[in-house]
Structure 1
Amino acid sequence: MRADPAADDEALVAVLFSRLFSAQTAPALLTAWLLHLLAGHPREQQRLREEARTVLGPAGTPPTVDPARLVATQHALRETLRLYPPAWLLDRTIQSPTTLGGRDLDPGTEGRVVTYLIHRDPAHHPDPDVFAPARWADPQPDLHRGAYLPFGTGGRYCRGALWVTTIAALTSAALLRRHDFRHTPGTRVCPAFGAHLEPTGLRLDTHCASPG
């Protein structure tokens, strides 16, 4: 039996569309969540602004800038991913006999990993609801490998993770270098738990940042 070429083409287009959409959505949401958090933490915002001006220089974003040089920005993004992980819910199928929480699970059992809750477990992250980028300034050798999963893990780890963080780092640095972000009065932000974790209700006022 021969496969339908048209059906194959449609499947390919669907996959490509999905990848393109995800490639733009994830960095945009990460940047939005970061700006939301920084709007509520002006000192941290100023620290990132000073770093952006040092790394990017007065002319804007150099075409060859290394995102790794944006150290404080990377820490802030990592903390943002902890609080608002893009992969906030992971569907998994048990592959081998497993005991979890005192319950025996057979192969084929469907399970869900709620990354959003794991990232806010005080057993792994002290003061879990506090935005504290400094927690990532030093290595954390004792942090359980399953305690931080913003892009999943194992064979289904998101291949676009580096792309997402790179674009978000460069975009946020370029924005913060010149602009100051504050919440519009009356703003109330709530996470919308859908296919992505979206900051519903987010409104920001933008002002020209004072020269540094």
Structure 2
Amino acid sequence: MPTRAGAWLLLNLARRPQWAEHIAAEASALPHDGHQVDAGHVARLRTADAFVRETLRLYPPNWLTSRVVAQPTHLGGHRLVPGDRVMVSPYLLHRDERHHDRADTFAPERWLEASSPGTTGAYLPFGAGPRLCPGASLASLELVLVLAMTARTHRLSCPDSQPYRLDTDGALTPAGLHLAFHPRG
């Protein structure tokens, strides 16, 4: 999943050069030797972290998942019994105006505010509860660092007006993604 999430990050970086410049400036404080990067450096990558969170909000690789009801319950006015299967779509949940202001707008700044959407319980890029992805923290860290280091060393662009096709087979993927990487001078 980090590879698919990484593809969405790179696409968003190419489409949003003003954010790419902010992230590149923030990343300029990172040591040039990647082995020297520590938790303190990563904690200061607030813009990159916000960009990753917003990308995962709009393009969660796990866009649809199912759960089996374990005990009788009511959900949305429906009675569910053990064995029933419930489909959950983080993709739709993350685009619901009841949970996220300007839900269809790419707005990383929302994650820089004191009350971020991640505190509402309606942010599930890695699942939640006992089914939370065990690699969620590592994947988030990797995505923030890859984004910051890429923005620091390259400018990205989309050479085509349609640089990908959307694939939902297994995971939300920008299949056939075409980007151009331009080294920063």
Say yes or no: TM over 0.5.
Answer: yes
Counterpart-to-counterpart distance in 2, 1:63 and 1:141:
30
Unmatched 5+ stretches in structure 1: 1-25
Instruction: Give 1 or 2 for the bigger CA radius of gyration.
Output: 1
Counterpart-to-counterpart distance in 2, 1:144 and 1:99:
21
Q: Which whole-Å deviations, capped at 9, do the CAs of 1:143-202 have from their partners, x for residues lacking one? A: 531x11111111111000011111111122221111000111333434311222211232
Q: RMSD of aligned C-alpha atoms?
A: 1.7
Q: Is the 8 A contact 2:163 2:179 kept in 1?
A: no
Whether 2:112 is the aligned partner of 1:137: answer yes
What does residue range 39-54 of structure 1 map to in structure 2 within 5 Å?
A: 39-54=14-29
Counterpart-to-counterpart distance in 1, 2:7 and 2:152:
16
The match for 1:106 is 81
The match for 1:61 is 34
Number of residue pairs aligned between Structure 1 and Structure 2:
182
The match for 1:33 is 8
Amino acid at match of 2:38: V
What does residue range 62-141 of structure 1 map to in structure 2 within 5 Å?
A: 62-66=35-39, 67-140=42-115
Q: Which whole-Å deviations, capped at 9, do the CAs of 1:118-167 have from their partners, x for residues lacking one? A: 0000111111121111000023278531x111111111110000111111
TM-score, length-normalised on structure 2? 0.90
Amino acid at match of 2:120: H
Q: Is the 8 A contact 1:82 1:119 kept in 2?
A: yes
- Percent identity reads 38
Q: Is the 8 A contact 1:39 1:183 kept in 2?
A: yes
Q: Is the 8 A contact 2:23 2:48 kept in 1?
A: yes
Displacement of 1:60 in angstroms is: 4.3
Q: Is the 8 A contact 2:110 2:116 kept in 1?
A: no
Counterpart-to-counterpart distance in 2, 1:107 and 1:144:
27
Per the alignment, do residues 46 and 60 of structure 1 end up closer, same or farther by CA in structure 2, a change over 3 Å counting?
farther
Counterpart-to-counterpart distance in 1, 2:111 and 2:130:
25
Q: Is the 8 A contact 1:60 1:174 kept in 2?
A: no
Unmatched 5+ stretches in structure 2: none
Amino acid at match of 1:129: D
Counterpart-to-counterpart distance in 2, 1:125 and 1:114:
15
Indicate the structure whose relative CO is greater, using CA pairs within 8 Å and at least 6 residues apart. Answer: 2
